[in-house]
Amino acid sequence: MKLSRVIARQTILRLASVAAGLSVTLAQPLTLFADPPQRVSPIVRAVQHAEAAVVNIQGSKTVVSASTTSPNSKQEVNGMGTGVIIDPRGYIITNLHVVEDVSRIEVTLADGTTAIAKLLNYDPETDLALIKIPTSKDLPTIEFGTSSDLMRGETVIAIGNPFGYQNTVTQGIISALNRNIPVNGSQEYKNLIQTNADINPGNSGGPLLNLDGEVIGINVAVRVGAQGIGFAIPIDSALDVMADLVAASHPEPVVHGLELSRSYENGVSKLLVRSDQEESTSSRNVRMCDVIESVNGVPVANRLDLELMLLEQRPGGSVELGISRGENRVTQAIPLRSAPATLDQNLAKTVWEQLGVRVVAVAANAVAGTGEDYQGGLRITEIRAASPAAKQRLQVGDIIVGVMEWQTASMADLQWILSSPTFRSAPSAKYYVVRKRQQITVAMSPESVRFR
């Protein structure tokens, strides 16, 4: 055989051998560009666990300028904030200052879907508010931890909408606990969590998470002019306020007669029975220290879960409680009765029937900048179609500050006015209304000049 042929044959054999080796190599999984497992840190896992239940909030409101050159001048500003979904039906918790005076609350979900929210209820003392968005599908919800065992130096994570940069994640530690922070001369945040996780305007109402992706606080404030000093409402106290806000927003408030509290042991949240105010009822079998595990078969872990379940219930019905009692499991049907009507509830019904509005009291700062010394007002939250208020083109968000010659700083003021002979004998009355810091007046004739 010629030498050239031998060389060519050896070359072909070498190439075949290399190709065979390459084919074996290519048959193995390629790991060159795979993410190393260590990159999925506890912080990454916590964010992935919670982020789907965090929403961004946008809106605009009119504010009064504090400038000394043009005092009481008004300007429209864009506001932003964050919220957390607490129920698949679209119930969201945020800060009151995020949605207060906002006529159009625009909510953006983690998947980019947008919706317009309605303000249902709020608590000025803790600066928490309950809003709701319409939804045709179940939404992801946040998971609650506890603030009872927090440690200084513990790693925490904030998710929010700072300066409009949606879904921003920051990380830090718990710097201190039980901080009391004055807001102004009349308000103070109490027992706050202090953190150095970056919290900026737009983070308000968003979650402060632990490394398990559980909410341990609701971000509420940042120290102006400082770096690395932010504050959050402890989740244990926030949960009680949330439960009250949900219960008060029930269209037909119901009473179950149980006094309940939350226990958090070994990483498990439990809903404990402290007492049964109707234990004398022979058909009831609920005892102190029972653990309520479910309502109508749906697991519950705190009073907020229970109140959310009761939103679908009406007086005269009942719910079935799944109860853990030591080593035993029992079920107990609990009847629901109507909550006793309070003066405010009777008044609210009268105002709805006569004027066609639902109102809530707001503080004096909500009506500042009008040039008048108003002590507060009644913000309209809902208007009935074809009612006197609708005919006068009043709007949700308008604040009634006076009727005739009297101020309406509270529901008690309104009760006195509606009961007065002067009002009842007048064919119509002048209403003073603040809309975006400007005062307007309308005349309305109640559909039924009658106070119950």
**Alpha carbons 278 and 154: distance in angstroms, whole number:** 43
The question of whether 97 is a catalytic residue gets the answer yes
Partnered with residue 260 across adjacent β-strands are 273
**Alpha carbons 90 and 134: distance in angstroms, whole number:** 6
The question of whether 127 is a catalytic residue gets the answer yes
Report the greatest alpha carbon distance in the chain.
Answer: 129
**Alpha carbons 371 and 392: distance in angstroms, whole number:** 24
* Share of the chain residues as helix, strand and coil, in percent rounded to the nearest 5: 25, 40, 40
String of b and e for 162-193 (b: at least 16 CB within 10 Å)? beeebebbbbbebbeeebebeeeeeeebeebb
Catalytic residue (choose from 147, 175, 204, 294)? 204
Partnered with residue 158 across adjacent β-strands are 170, 208
Note whether 112 and 60 are within 8 A (CB): no
**Alpha carbons 46 and 37: distance in angstroms, whole number:** 15
**Alpha carbons 292 and 302: distance in angstroms, whole number:** 9
Note whether 7 and 15 are within 8 A (CB): no
The question of whether 136 is a catalytic residue gets the answer no
| Residue 155 backbone dihedrals phi, psi, to 5 degrees | -70, 135
**Alpha carbons 336 and 324: distance in angstroms, whole number:** 21
**Alpha carbons 431 and 72: distance in angstroms, whole number:** 23
- How far, rounded to the nearest angstrom, does the alpha carbon of residue 48 sit from its chain's CA centroid? 20
- For residue 197, what is the DSSP state? S
Note whether 47 and 169 are within 8 A (CB): yes
Catalytic residue (choose from 127, 276, 305, 413)? 127
Q: What angle do CA 122, 407, 96 make, to 5 degrees?
A: 15
SS3 422: helix
**The token pair that represents 127 in the structure block:** 């600066």
Note whether 111 and 119 are within 8 A (CB): no
SS3 364: helix
Q: Report, as residue numbers or ranges, the catalytic residues.
A: 97, 127, 204
